[in-house]
Structure formats: structure tokens, C-alpha cells
Chains A and B, each alone.
Chain A
Amino acid sequence: MTTWIDAGCILIVFFALIILATSRIVGMIRIFVLQSCVLSLMPLFLHAEAVSARDVMLSLGTVSLKAALVPFVLFWAIRRISMRTEVKPLIGVGASIVCGALLIAGAFWVSLALRIPGRPVTDLGLPCALATVLLGFMIMVTRTRAVTQVIGYLVIENGIFLFAVSLFDAMPTLIEMGILLDIFVAVFIMAIVLNNINEEFEHDPGGESRAKMGETF
């Protein structure tokens, strides 16, 4: 089973890197969906010997939220606000990939220093989670579109989630559900705000305000 787990971890990082390298927003969301699907399988893999109801719930929750609801909301937002779909990075794709690779290396290097107490199921969990978080940060910092920032945020969340499921099970289910719900609501509200901003722009088409806002939206 460990092979699957390791593969899952590495896939998640890989998808994060791909998101960083994608130049179209729609593509980014799609890859994010893939990443989330892989992630939602992780609880099941990790406790493959004895899958509990909690794991199933977590898995289902993740899949329904991150692979279905969130992308839906994002697509809705994109459609509603007829946003231009290219990513407009501050750092070019090539450089981003190089930086991303360096970040991954950094995450692994940092993980060397951290010894996880207890019994880790896999030794890839921590570095991969860290790498995903870092890549998510990178997406947020270097990509200027509003939606890309949301995606970056979601990648970070995925990283954290990977960390949580792979390393320990001290968190009560209720709390984990709360976390999931929070994330969803966050994205939902972000989308609403985006929508509102867009409406404001439509009252003032082609005004200087868009230029002033750094072409974020």
C-alpha cells in the first residue's frame, strides 16, 4: 500500500507544479480538480487495513467540496465576470518551474531536519505537504489574476490537508469537517466578492480604475 501512498504524495506535488506551469486559468482549475481527487483518496490509502467511517466521510467530503463544488464556483465566477483567461504571471513559466523545483528541493531539505514522532506511514508525507504549500504560495505571489490567487490558496490548503491526513489522527472529525466547510465558504465568498467587483467595473467600463487595480481582476 505504501507505494500507492507515495505515488499519491508525489502526484500531488507534481500537480501543484503543473498548476504553476499552466498558462490558462481554466487549465489550472482542471488540474486542481485532479489534485483534489488524488488527495481525497489519501485517507483511504493511509488506513487501507481498516478503513473507518471517518475516513470515508473525509474522503467524500473532500471530493465533493474540492473536486466538485469549488471548481463549480470558480467556473461560475469566471463565466460571470468574463475574465480574460490567460494567467499573466510576474515570473515567466520557465522560471516558475525552475523556482518551483528549487522550492521542492528546499521542502525536502527542511524535512530532513524534522523528525516526526510516532510511526509515520510514509516518509514522503511531510516533504510533499511542505512542497505543496510552498508551491501554492508561489502561485499566489507570482500570478496576478484574482482567480489564480484563489487557486493558489486552494493548493496551499491541499498541502495542509495532505499533511493532516498523512501524519496523524488526533484531530476530531468535527473539527476536520469544520475546516472543510470553512474552506468552502471562503472560496464561495471570494467568488461573490469577485462577482461584485466585476459588477462595479461594468458600471464604469474601460475606466482608469481597472488599470489602477493592477489588472488583478
Chain B
Amino acid sequence: MLSWLIFIPFLCALAALLPVRRIFRVWLLGATALLHASVVGAFWINRPAPEWNGYLVLDPLGLILLSIISFLFLSVAVFMIGYFQHEQRLNRTFIACLLLLLSTMTLVSVSYHMGLLWVAVETTTLFSAPLISFHRSRGSLEATWKYLLVCSVGIALALMGTFFLAIAANDVHTLFLPALLKQAPLLSVNWLKLSVIFLLVGYGCKMGLAPMHSWKPEAYGQATGMAVVLMAGGLTQCAFLALIRVSQICFQAGMSDFYASILIVTGVLSLIVPAVFILGEKNIKRCFSYSSIEHMGLLALGLGLGGLGLFGALFHMINNALVKVVMFLTAGSIAQKYGSSRVDDVRGLIRSYPLTGIFLLVALLAGTGMFPFATFHSELMIINAAVIAKHYWLAAAAVICLALMFIGVSRIALEMVYGQPTEPVLAKKENFYMNAAIAAAVALLLWFGFWLPEPLEKVLREAAALVGV
């Protein structure tokens, strides 16, 4: 089942490369995403067996990520139906790459071998690069270039880390995760440390943790909203999954403290850096991209703090993805309507496009952890974990940064939502599909904010137990 889940999108990608009508590809994507989603939904009831000699295993961690990915693609597919009603651009590469991305991201979430994991993550980088340059503008190409370069270097470091891990596992003689975990005490400590550092920096590049974040504002600022959703909600969290795997190994090897301290430093940096940068920002997408860095910081922090923080981080993974859907799909829809995502060009959204305006508000509130949205709970848990771990300064720094972040985002978002409306490029009509895609994410955010469903909590607990609480 798992391999089919990887291959079907791959085959569909090949199909998308055929010269057919634009709308056909959109529907192809939609159908694939729907299929993918329904299969993943089935996995919630009945977990699939390992495949490929244990290379592919779906554990609760993977299930969470897989569900996220599936949901993201479904939203993007629905959104795209609306988007390409107005857009005249050719979508062959775009959709093919999307489907390839789906395939490889699925691979990331189910791969149970550190080498395979690396290969999968690297592949996602490659297939996501063309997505950034969808608009083919100079800026977007430049952003693609930076993204490629920085991520490739990062991934190269991760490769080195993987090799170091292999050396550390000289006695174990394998990179299969279960074997590594089982015999973790046999790992050579020094090499493992080296490997952990390289893996963190490497996958951290991919995840966009500060100071490896620099590609993020550029890439997110230039790419179309749909692509950014997949990157910010999916790709970065794939890299986070890799970090979680490392954490699993460290925990079993009794090096939790070592790894945690690095994660916390990185996490705090990722909170501080965007908080400083965001204040001067004028572009809503770039703004959200800083917010994304901050969310990654929170994830790293939660993982580093362990315990409650870990649970919070896992929950935050889900919420983060949902928020990213709202954020970037809304930003994308604004960018399409006004031909710009700069605050000076977009005003009075709530009058021109009431729904989009509301979504932007939701993006602001949910993105910064306001109450009725699920992010509130996950952020709370992470901060709570910091307090419990007696990292008081950490908690203080985190909240100050979150506050600055809020100032930065709200400055722009609120300016855009309210005020005297500026003239949009497109006709004054909301698109049903686009809004439906965003509304679904909003609904989920609200739902989880008010009511954490039993199965979800169970899976989150299982996942947290895997990392070792």
C-alpha cells in the first residue's frame, strides 16, 4: 500500500507532463490528492504493514506527517481549481512537480532508513525548486536560485551527518532506524555527536531554522501561495521529521541533553531572528515567511524541551500546517487579485473581498496563537514546557519574540484588511473553490482549538512516546 502511495503520484506526474489541456492537469492533481487523502484516511483506521524490507514503515510520527501532507495537497488542489480559472499561465511543470513532490514527501514520511530519508528529503528539495519560479519573474528565479543553493549545501551537510552516523554505527552496521534504536548504546558517542550536529544544521537548513533561514523570505515571498503552502507546511516539516528521528536515536543513546541544548539554542535563535527582521517588512508573504521561521523555532524548542513540549511540538506540526494553508493560500489569493502582496497596494480587503479579509485575519490570529485556534494550545504547551523545565529566561525570550512577531504581522495584516479599499486587478468576485480550500483549514483549526479529538490525541501520544517521554 505504501509503495503505491508513492508511485501513483509519480505516475500521475508523468501523465501531467503530457501535452494536455491545463484544466485536465488540475483535475488530475485533484483526483490524485483525493485518492491519496482517502488512502491516508484509511491508514488512521488500519495501519499498513512495513514494505521494501523494512525501508518503508508508517509509524505514528509518519502518520501525522503523512496526514498533514495529504491535507495540504487536497487544499492546494481545491484551491487550484479556482486559481487556474483566472490564471493564464502554463502549468505543466508546476503540476508535474507538485505531484512529484507529493510522491517524495510521502516517501519522507514513511522512510525508516536514515539514508533513504536523506535521499527523499533531497529529492523534495529538487522538485520544490521549480515551484518557486512559477511566476518566472526575475525575483522568483533569483529566489529559486538561493533556495536551491542554500538547501543543497544544507542537504550536503546532512549527508555528511548521515555518513558520520554510519561511522558511529560501525558496530551496528546498518542505518535502519529500528536497529539503530535498539542498539543505540553501542553507537560511538563522539561520532554520534558530530553526526547530530551536522544533521541538525543540514536538515535545519531545509527546515529554515535560523541562522539557516535566509532562503525563506526570498522563496516564500516570490513563490505562488500554493507552492509555499506545500513548502512551509509540508517540506519544512518533513525536515522536522528527520530531526525527530535524530532525536529518537539520541534519546535511545542517552544523549538527550546534548541534542536538546542544541535544539533549544537553534529554536531560540529562530524565534529572535524573525522577530527582529519582521518589523521592517512590507510584504505580507515575506511577513508570513518570518512567521514560518518562528513556528519552526517553536517546533525545535518543543522537541528540545521534551515531555510536554514534545507533545506540543507534534500538535504544533499539525496546527502549523493548517495555519500555513490559511496564511499562504490567502496571500496567494490576494496576490492574484491585486497583483501584489505589498501592504501599500492592498487595502480595505474586508470591503472588497470580505471572505478573504476574514481569512487574512484568521491567518494573523491563528498564526500568532490566539485562542479559538488550535495554535493557541500548542504554543501554550511549548511555553509551558519551558517553564516546567525551569528555563525561565527561555520562556521569557520566547514570549517577547512572539509578541514582537505579533506586532510585525498584525501591522501589515490589519492594514491590509481594513481601511479604504484600493482597486483590485481582478473583478470583485470571490472564488468558491479558493475560499473552500481555506475555509476547511480554518474549520479544522477551530475544531482542534475547541475540541481535540480522541483519535488524534491518541496518535499524538503514541508519537510522543516513540521519541521517548
Contact = CB atoms under 8 A, between A and B. Distances in A.
Judged by CB atoms under 8 Å, the answer to whether A and B touch is: yes
Interface of A: 114-118, 133, 137, 140, 146, 149, 153, 156-157, 160, 163-164, 167-168, 170-172, 175, 178-179, 182, 185-186, 189-190, 193-194, 196-197, 200-201, 204, 209, 213
Contacts of A172: 115
A114 B190 contact: yes
Interface stretch (B152-160, B228-236, B271-279, B375-383): B152-160
Nearest to A117: B170
A200 B188 CA distance: 51
Contacts of B133: 193, 196
Contacts of A209: 138
Contact of A160 (B115, B159, B169): B159
Contacts of B115: 171-172, 175, 178
Contacts of A163: 160, 163
Contacts of B188: 117
Given A117-B171, A137-B153, A193-B144, 6 more contacts: A178-B119, A179-B122, A182-B123, A186-B125, A186-B152, A200-B137
B466 interface: no
Interface in B131-184: 133, 136-138, 141-142, 144-145, 148-149, 152-153, 156, 159-160, 163, 166-167, 169-171, 173-175
A170 B174 contact: yes
Task: Say whether chain B's binding surface is mostly helix, strand, loop, or mixed.
Answer: helix
A200 B169 contact: no
B142 A149 contact: no
A144 to B, nearest CB: 12
B159 A179 contact: yes
Contacts of A204: 138
Given A175-B119, A213-B142, A200 B136 contact: yes
Given A171-B115, A186-B126, A194-B145, A164 B137 contact: no
A181 to B, nearest CB: 8
Nearest to B52: A174
Contacts of A153: 149, 152-153, 156
Contacts of A200: 136-138, 141
14 contacts: A114-B191, A116-B167, A117-B188, A153-B152, A156-B156, A160-B156, A160-B160, A178-B119, A179-B122, A185-B126, A197-B141, A197-B142, A200-B141, A209-B138
Nearest to B175: A170
A175 B190 CA distance: 25
Contact of A189 (B113, B118, B126): B126
A128 B204 CA distance: 26
Contacts of B125: 186
Contacts of A175: 113, 115-116, 118-119
A140 B152 CA distance: 12
A161 B444 CA distance: 45
B459 interface: no
Given A170-B173, A196-B133, A197-B138, A182 B160 contact: no
Contacts of A179: 118-119, 122, 159
Nearest to B162: A171
A195 to B, nearest CB: 10
A39 B137 CA distance: 39
A157 B156 contact: yes
Contact of A114 (B118, B129, B194): B194
A48 B371 CA distance: 66
Closest A-B pairs by Cβ, 9 of them: A178-B119, A175-B115, A117-B170, A182-B122, A197-B141, A200-B138, A170-B166, A118-B170, A185-B126
Nearest to B145: A193
B130 interface: yes
A77 to B, nearest CB: 12
Contacts of B142: 197, 213
Contacts of A182: 119, 122-123, 126
A167 B3 CA distance: 32
Nearest to B174: A170
Interface string B239-271: 000000000000000000000000000000000
Contacts of A146: 145
Given A114-B194, A179-B119, A190 B167 contact: no
Nearest to A213: B142
A197 B169 contact: no
Given A146-B145, A193-B133, A168 B191 contact: no
B167 A117 contact: yes
A149 B166 contact: no
Interface in B29-68: none
Interface string B102-128: 000000000001011011001101100
Contact of B136 (A114, A160, A164, A196): A196
Contacts of A118: 170
Contacts of B159: 160, 179
A118 B126 CA distance: 35
A171 B166 contact: yes
B153 A140 contact: yes
Contacts of B163: 160, 163-164, 167-168, 171
A70 B390 CA distance: 52
Nearest to A203: B138
A194 B116 CA distance: 29
A117 to B, nearest CB: 4
A167 B159 CA distance: 14
A85 B320 CA distance: 45
A190 B145 CA distance: 7
A197 B136 CA distance: 9
Contact of B170 (A168, A189, A213): A168
A27 to B, nearest CB: 22
A146 B144 CA distance: 12
A197 B171 CA distance: 48
A194 B118 CA distance: 26
A178 B169 CA distance: 21
Given A157-B156, A179-B159, A189-B148, A171 B175 contact: yes
